[in-house]
Amino acid sequence: MTYKVEEIENKRIVHLNGEIDMDVADKARSTILPLIEAGHEVIINLSKVLYMDSSGISVLIESKKLSEKKNTKFELVDISKPVEKVLAMARKFL
């Protein structure tokens, strides 16, 4: 997984690329959570994510919960088809 963080005023757009699995979930977590902790609005662009497993979903859930706690915005945009399928399956169980 690679990533790029784009800064626009108080928004941080995190462009993720590649696969988000158990091997890189901590890298994703350590990229996203500090932005939320700092009070930024965080937008995750998933258009170039080819694969995501349950550990990637866990990072997104943690991020959403932290943003609610910090009263800031957290949003997923441009979700790729493979990730969309995984998220749809996860919704059935949540």
The structure's pTM equals 0.92
User: Could you give the CA distance from residue 29 to residue 7 in angstroms, rounded to a whole number?
Assistant: 18
74 near 40, Cβ under 8 Å?
A: no
Which residue carries 């979700």 as its tokens? 79
CATH number at residue 88: 3.30.750.24
Residue range(s) defining the domain that contains residue 85? 2-93
61 near 30, Cβ under 8 Å?
A: no
> Domain count of the chain?
1
- The torsion angles phi and psi of 22, rounded to 5 degrees, stand at -55, -35
pLDDT digits (tens, 9 = 90+) for 9-61: 999 999 999 999 999 999 999 999 999 999 999 999 999 999 999 999 999 99
